[in-house]
Amino acid sequence: MTKSPADTKGNSAVAKVGPAKAAPDGGSQQKSERKTHGGGCHCGKVRYEMTSDVAKVISCNCSICTKSGSLLTFIPATEFKLKSGAADLIDYQFNKHAIHHMVCPDCGIKSFARATGPDGTPTVAVNVRCLDDIDLKALTITEFDGRSR
């Protein structure tokens, strides 16, 4: 019996749980603190620095985010500095070609994307999974219905 690969509904594992509050109020745990984070792809060819409070993280159900598992935070391009890999990155585009998905040609990791915000601001979508020092469990993740856009 062949099983059809039709179970592509994006409504399983919903991250509605919220951040685990294990520690009592230790005091120094500041949330929404603007900080510079290093990040990049898996092999290290693509490296960048981004400055953000990483307050809002999006889990999108569009066709590419579903497959890549990206968790995105959006920052102005001025807060993003690509330090290495610029010449090698693959600029993958699809659909309306509105977003430039920047893929490392060696390890295949898409650690960020470039786009233009609704008000025309150059924007970078950083895959927070690719940041060096982020505690994914401490993030509040918002579901985004990119599939219907």
Angstrom CA distances, 81 to 9, 15, 75, 105, 111, stand at 36, 30, 11, 19, 13
- Residue closer to Zn ion (CB basis): 105 or 117: 105
Decide if residue 89 touches Zn ion (CB under 5 A). Answer: no
- Residue closer to Zn ion (CB basis): 50 or 141: 50
- Tokens of residue 110, six digits: 């898409």
Decide if residue 113 touches Zn ion (CB under 5 A). Answer: no
Decide if residue 104 touches Zn ion (CB under 5 A). Answer: yes
Decide if residue 41 touches Zn ion (CB under 5 A). Answer: yes
CB of 98 to Zn ion, least distance (A): 24
- Tokens of residue 98, six digits: 């509105």
The side-by-side arrangement of strands in the sheet containing 80-84 is 35-40, 47-52, 80-84
- Residue closer to Zn ion (CB basis): 47 or 56: 47
CB of 109 to Zn ion, least distance (A): 5
- Tokens of residue 13, six digits: 């594992």
- Contact yes or no for 101/93 (Cβ under 8 A): yes
Decide if residue 43 touches Zn ion (CB under 5 A). Answer: yes
- Residue closer to Zn ion (CB basis): 45 or 114: 45
Q: Where are the alpha helices (DSSP H) in the chain?
A: 63-68
- Provide the 8-state DSSP code for 138: G
Decide if residue 107 touches Zn ion (CB under 5 A). Answer: yes
Binding stretches for Zn ion (CB under 5 A):
41, 43, 45, 104, 106-107
